[in-house]
Amino acid sequence: QSALTQPASVSGSPGQSITISCTGTSSDVGTYNVVSWYQQHPGKAPKFIIYEVDKRPSGVSNRFSGSKSGNTASLTISGLQADDEADYYCCSYAGGSTYVVFGGGTKLTVL
């Protein structure tokens, strides 16, 4: 069982927007503004797409955005494209002796 909870799957049609939630606790997401998100295509290494909750690394499309409210972080992808079909993982610092926690991953299907 993962420390952060994500929906197993989400889907959307090209051009639409989708949001993936990532629910933690007051010990991780709720306390630290260091949530990051990763995109993973089949057979590939994860790619870093969001950091510090809502910041985009250079080169990542502005169609990807992040936010946080309380113990839940969210990733929104707007203007869905076929290439967005992938697995998405959230990650947070958790402090104490836990340090790093991942979500279980969400499979995005572009219909």
Partner 1 sequence: QAQLQESGPGLVKPSQTLSLTCTVSGGSISSGDYFWSWIRQPPGKGLEWIGYIYYSGTTYYNPSLKTRVTVSVDTSKNQFSLKVYTVTAADTAVYYCTRVSQYYYYMDVWGKGTTVTVSS
DSSP lists the bridge partners of residue 12 as 110
Q: What is the DSSP string of 7-32?
A: -SEEEE-TT--EEEEEE--TTTTTT-
The number of residues making up the chain comes to 111
> Which residue type does 107 have?
K
Out of 65, 89, 108, 110, the residue judged to bind partner 1 by CB under 8 A: 89
Dihedral over alpha carbons 61, 53, 102, 47 (to 10 degrees): 20
Q: Which residue has the tokens 């990542």?
A: 60
**Stretch of 15-23, 47-55, 66-74, 76-84 contacting partner 1, by CB under 8 A:** 47-55
**Stretch of 9-17, 61-69, 70-78, 84-92 contacting partner 1, by CB under 8 A:** 84-92
Residues 7-26 interacting with partner 1 (rule: CB under 8 A)? none
Q: Coil, strand, or helix at residue 97?
A: coil
**Stretch of 16-24, 62-70, 71-79, 99-107 contacting partner 1, by CB under 8 A:** 99-107
Out of 48, 70, 79, 111, the residue judged to bind partner 1 by CB under 8 A: 48
CB of 15 to partner 1, least distance (A): 29
Q: Which parts of this chain interact with partner 1 (CB under 8 A)?
A: 2, 32, 34, 36, 38, 45-48, 51-52, 57, 89, 91-93, 97-105
